[in-house]
Structure 1
């Protein structure tokens, strides 16, 4: 009986891993990302329509946070420097959303079934966060640099300018900004294709 149970558990884990969406093969090109995972584009469009956030901003932030891995986790924490002791934070999934912030999002958005390892939910969370950042700290939804600093430090941390004491963080925010600019230009070149029907894409692209 134990052998059967173990075998069933192993098969279930393999099936779950097989169903997980792999990271895009070319994450440097947003057109290639959405061609490979067209349902991600649909989720990103829904996010834009709901929160008024341009797609290239959360996509550039998501790349930085998780490299588009659905099961991304923060580094491990260690007791006494060598004993594994959980994770450094509760961040998880595509958006690396922390548990408490994710719960705030669910309450505000009424998206009770949202999962952090679901792309559509994760990018909707990021759209919510970016839109709220504009309300709380007056940062434009089109400003990837300061939006990322808010995302990393939190709204209160941004107000207190905690990022100023982290010399490594500012170059990362600039990296996100440069990627957002690149993604924006790329998306303009392929948006008509992505918006076309699946049959049109098969026949003409």
Structure 2
């Protein structure tokens, strides 16, 4: 019988692999009813807490980044942009470096990490992604004077960048203008819905245990 020798696995490598498996098994699924922000937060209570923290930190209304996130990733933690193809049929990477809940590009995400000191932030973490979007919306208000409540203008900035918005590059993209209007409508729907349930969402776990 042939003897098979296995190369010893370094303890650090084994630990990293186990951690990766653990994370993949604990990935948060997208909400079952993404059209209703109350249903989203009732299903994922920790998401409301993270969104509320972002609101307090950046002065951003919850319904705006949530509507933008729905459009960007459908609340999928590992969302990726479409594939790029060489000669029209050979897979050639992705059309951009965007990733995660917020579909933040690598360079912009690194700017966020550097400015906020949140070096351990992950694009596949809802808490980090909603804080990133709050930061971006706040910066858009500072740089281009777009209201933090203006989901239409904010989404145009999010897609085109601050310089692109200033150059009005979106005027050459009718599809983007249409999508931005969809984001605006969804944000207004979310805002109306949130008014009906936020009082309950703000109640602690102990209250929900006995009275929820």
Task: Compute the TM-score of the two structures, normalised by the length of structure 2.
Answer: 0.90
1:48 correspondence with 2:39: no
- Give 3-state SS (helix, strand or coil) of 1:117's partner: coil
Structure 2, unpaired ranges of 5+: none
1:172 correspondence with 2:179: yes
Query: Using a 3 Å threshold, how does the CA distance of structure 1 residues 125 and 11 change in structure 2: closer, same or farther?
Result: closer
Alignment partner, residue 87 of structure 1: 94
For 1:10 and 1:112, the matched residues in 2 are separated by: 22
**What RMSD over aligned residues (CA atoms) do the two structures have, in Å?**
1.9
Deviates more, 1:129-138 or 1:11-20: 11-20
Task: Compute the TM-score of the two structures, normalised by the length of structure 1.
Answer: 0.93
Structure 2 matches for 1:188-203, cutoff 5 A?
188-203=195-210
Q: Deviation of residue 16 (structure 1)?
A: 3.1
1:130 correspondence with 2:164: no
For 2:148 and 2:18, the matched residues in 1 are separated by: 44
- Give 3-state SS (helix, strand or coil) of 2:174's partner: coil
Alignment partner, residue 70 of structure 1: 77
Query: Using a 3 Å threshold, how does the CA distance of structure 1 residues 156 and 40 change in structure 2: closer, same or farther?
Result: same
Query: Using a 3 Å threshold, how does the CA distance of structure 1 residues 18 and 193 change in structure 2: closer, same or farther?
Result: same
Q: Deviation of residue 104 (structure 1)?
A: 0.5
Alignment partner, residue 17 of structure 1: 24
Structure 1, unpaired ranges of 5+: none
Larger radius of gyration: 2
